[in-house]
Amino acid sequence: MPENHDDSQNDASSGTDPADPTVRARNLIARGTIAQRGDTAKEMAKGPGADVLKLARRALRRAEEVIIEVLSLVPPPKPIACKAGCPWCCHIRLTATPPEVLLVLDYIREHFTAPEIAALERKVANVDAFTRGRDGEDRAKQRLPCPLLKDGACSVHSVRPLSCRAVVSVDVAACKRAYDSHMEEPVPQHDLQILAANGIGYGILAGLADVSFSVEDAEMNAALALGLADKDIGQRWLRGEPVFTPATLTRRKV
């Protein structure tokens, strides 16, 4: 799922005491992952008739509910500093499952004007020319902004992928230092929020595998480029066509 992991914050406990807040949070995350796996498998077993957009919305809602409960059990050491107009983290390689990508594409078509979509298509194509196939390390060095940013804020925030929801910082100054250093400086995050959001993503992928559906975790910008150029990409994906495979490939380093 996401390309940004930080080990600066250790869990409060590595034991198995069911009364320990960290253990309870981890158990909650595990249940959410299992529930998402079952939900995904049940919906995708419908084949071309699956409502992938509703599936993605349920997954995002489940992630938010799990995150809220996790944060209530194990609060971050300091208040979360993330807010609109603070896009330092939006310059890294981002991956998402096909249902999440399709939900973002649907949101764009429903909420953007024709000129806005045309402008976005140009931005996505321009970024794609530089980033297609690049791994996380290369993308950090490139430090190119996500084309979905508008005036420093996410233009699809309500349907942003799970990988975006996983990353929260408690120190905006550290985010700026990370950006200035091309993501070499660490950013203090809340490990359990990362685990919670990623768990739902893993549930999506596991559910797809359970019904022998193509499991693809796509790089977001490349997937957007494919989707914006093909209005039927969702139906093609539901028919089993590997339409997002070009967005999953990473170049070999030489």
- Strand, helix or coil for residue 186: coil
CA angle 164, 192, 171 (to 5 degrees): 65
pLDDT mean across residues, the chain = 90
pLDDT score of 221 more than 80: yes
Backbone angles phi, psi at 5, to 5 degrees: -120, 145
106, 232, 248 from 243: Cα distances, Å? 16, 10, 10
- Identity of the amino acid at 28: L
At 86 the pLDDT is 82
pLDDT score of 118 more than 60: yes
159-175 average pLDDT score: 91
At 18 the pLDDT is 79
Under 8 Å between Cβ of 190 and 76: yes
65-85 average pLDDT score: 90
pLDDT score of 152 more than 90: no
206: closest CA among 68, 80, 39, 85?
39
pLDDT, one tens digit per residue, over 28-73 is 999 999 999 999 999 999 999 999 999 999 999 999 999 999 999 9
Confidence at 174, pLDDT banded by 50, 70, 90: confident
- For residue 3, give every residue at least 6 positions away whose Cβ sits within 8 Å of its Cβ, in sequence order, or none: 92, 93, 94, 95, 136, 139, 163
CA distance 142 to 152: 18
At 4 the pLDDT is 46
At 126 the pLDDT is 96
Confidence at 252, pLDDT banded by 50, 70, 90: low
- Strand, helix or coil for residue 115: helix
DSSP secondary structure, 96-126, as one string:
E-HHHHHHHHHHHHHHS-HHHHHHHHHHHHH
Residue 235, number of CB atoms within 10 A of its CB: 14
At 103 the pLDDT is 98
CA distance 218 to 17: 37
CA distance 82 to 91: 15
At 1 the pLDDT is 44
- Strand, helix or coil for residue 159: helix
At 87 the pLDDT is 84
Residue 251's Cβ-count burial label (10 Å; 0-12, 13-18, 19+) is exposed
At 5 the pLDDT is 42
Task: Please state the pTM of the whole predicted model.
Answer: 0.89
- Strand, helix or coil for residue 155: coil
pLDDT score of 7 more than 50: no
Report percent pLDDT > 70 for the chain.
93
At 89 the pLDDT is 87
pLDDT, one tens digit per residue, over 186-209 is 888 889 999 999 999 999 999 999
pLDDT score of 175 more than 70: yes
